[in-house]
Amino acid sequence: MAEIVALFDEVVESSVVGVRKPDPEFYEIACTRLGIEPSEAVFLDDLGINLKPARDGHADHQGRRPGPGPRRARGHRRLPPGLTPGSAGMEGGYL
């Protein structure tokens, strides 16, 4: 798990902050910790119910720019070879 956590600038754990997705406060905590506005965030999730609060907070919730032109995620890093989403058995509550 430490190898995965090291890939992120910030990890928000529901069990630590006492709030979980899809509560809008969860997204606010993550943005505050990163020092960004929701409009600067890119939120990816495998559950549609978790996308609505991100969308309502004006985050790019599907990894696509709502208007024309390309968009790059600030600080984007690729997953290491052999590591795929879900391969490490991560629990929910990470952003």
What mean pLDDT, rounded, does the chain reach? 70
Q: Is residue 80 part of a domain?
A: no
Number of structural domains in the chain: 1
Mean pLDDT of all residues in 67-71: 47
Q: Is residue 39 part of a domain?
A: yes
Q: Is residue 10 part of a domain?
A: yes
CATH number of the domain enclosing 11: 3.40.50.1000
Mean pLDDT of all residues in 78-86: 55
Q: What is the pLDDT of residue 82?
A: 57
pLDDT digits (tens, 9 = 90+) for 11-62: 888 889 999 888 889 888 988 998 988 878 777 777 778 878 777 776 655 4
Q: Is residue 44 part of a domain?
A: yes
Q: Is residue 72 part of a domain?
A: no
Q: Is residue 74 part of a domain?
A: no
pTM, 2 dp: 0.56
Asked if 22 contacts 10 with a C-beta cutoff of 8 angstroms, the reply is no
